[in-house]
Amino acid sequence: MNARTLGTDGPTVTPLGLGCMGMSDFYGSPDEQAGIDTIQRALDLGVNLLDTADMYGPHTNERLVGRAIDGRRDDVVLATKFGIDRNGDGRAINGRPDYVRSSIHDSLERLGVDHVDLWYQHRVDPDVPVEETWGAMAEQVEAGKVRFLGISEAAADTVRRAHATHPVTALQTEYSLWSRDIEGEILDTIRELGITLVGYAPLGRGFLTGRFESPSDFPDGDWRADSPRFQGDNFDRNLDLVRAVEAFADERGASPAQVALAWVLHEGDDVVAIPGTTSVHHLQDNMGALDVELSAEDLARLDEIAPHDAAAGDRYSDMSSVGI
């Protein structure tokens, strides 16, 4: 795999990492052993970027990742996130410095490591200046608990303010054929500053693989069943997009997932994708994206299939904390 560097001087990672959220939360009943097997197979295949967060579970995903990498820490560029507090009722965005400090302590304990390689502010707290949050994050770099810092779902001006406090190595946000919101000001800003884009949900939360024919296909307890993009007319309209991607993939002798991931990776050497899966089979299919070459003509056709505003429905039921 052609390695990519996070930021200007960050760790070297594989173009495809592994998002671990679904192994513990949001997509139906988790199977922890399947998650561990998938992580370990990914490491065997050379994948080195693993992505988790303290709010997945909550807390259980970090523990799962810690068990999976036990004895293989040197094989992993380990990323986790803080900032969405699920300890109380509901979910609260928290960027207070005292919470920043306690969060890294707790994450390290759950992961069973003495440092993380990349630590993200998961969501920006509208009630706390980002400079205060990032000042406390920078302290953790100085203390050796964190190597590099990232931010997730942040607006361009917020990224600039964070970067002025301490260098931002990566911006993590949803990016796929049907989630292209950051193209324009945000993408231009991070490229100007030398910040890598880490695209989560590059398979449209599994939808772009063609696995789902109707909302009833989602298992009980699956977050997607309540997401605007997977409901009613939105589902049907988005399914038309998937069918077009499937037809394109068939012409190329590839799977829809491989085409969707290849498109993300072809958007630039400063882009990394972290598809999530709980299946070794799907993991291995995803890895085939590295062998899919897309010409300028192919990319133009995919832009026609999935233009900037192709998806029907918002990404979240409540978009208030996205892009602050």
The catalytic site residues sit at: 56
* Alpha carbon distance 137, 133 (integer Å): 6
- Residue 16 has a CB neighbour count (10 Å cut-off) of 25
Please list, in sequence order, all residues whose beta carbon lies within 8 angstroms of the beta carbon of residue 22, skipping any fewer than 6 positions away: 30, 276, 277, 278
- Please, is 29 exposed, middle or buried when counting C-beta atoms within 10 Å of its C-beta (0-12, 13-18, 19+)? exposed
- Residue 231 has a CB neighbour count (10 Å cut-off) of 16
For the chain, the straight-line distance linking the first and the last C-alpha, in angstroms and rounded, comes to 34
Per-residue CA distances from 87 to 42, 109, 317 (Å): 31, 17, 21
Question: Is the backbone peptide bond immediately before 58 cis, with ω within 30 degrees of 0?
Answer: yes
Write the DSSP symbol of residue 16.
B
Write the DSSP symbol of residue 93.
E
The residue behind tokens 């037809």 is: 247
Per-residue CA distances from 318 to 174, 210, 322 (Å): 15, 26, 9
* Alpha carbon distance 37, 220 (integer Å): 23
